Structure 1
Amino acid sequence: MTPYQVLHVQDGFASLKTVRSVIPHLIFLDYQLPGMDGLECLDVFRATKGMEQVPIIFMSANLSDQARRHKDVFLLEKPFELESVIHLVKQALGDERGP
């Protein structure tokens, strides 16, 4: 089993600050964030050097049509089952062994 390090941040601004020093292998991004919504955060991630191809799992109980149009993210609707999360992580990382 591959170990993973998880970093948790409270809002979009904190996530943008974090990726200045740590380029993640995968991002879970909520649509409804305080201060900056997930779509705004996603756009900044994609415009950040080194972040263009980082897999992003976009999650929300209320995914907008605009969010659904993004073809470069994985969508996870709340509520979700653990198996759905594991499947998307495997798919996003291209790791059939999974976490």
Structure 2
Amino acid sequence: MSTVTMNISLTDELKAFVDARVKARGYSSTSEYMRELVRRDEERAAEERFVALIQEGIDSGPSSRTWEEHRAELNARIAAARAAESHPR
């Protein structure tokens, strides 16, 4: 995965905080610390999306279809996707 450079502006107080966290947590660089913060935020965003999807499912009420019907549809979709992958146009 390629990386790009990104510059940020911090107050002296925030810079001191970041430097202290890098040292205290054993990061090899400020960049490593910042990447970890972004990864954690990315994970939180994914969790928020997951919770929203669960809530959407709850709010939609019970399904009129059985589990077996859902499973059969999903299996058919998977089979179609695999067939499309093995026979590209």
TM range (shorter): under 0.3
TM-score by length of 1: 0.19
TM-score by length of 2: 0.20
Of structures 1 and 2, the one with the larger relative CO (CA 8 A, separation 6+) is 1
- Normalized per residue, which structure has more helix? 2
User: Which structure has the larger Rg?
Assistant: 2
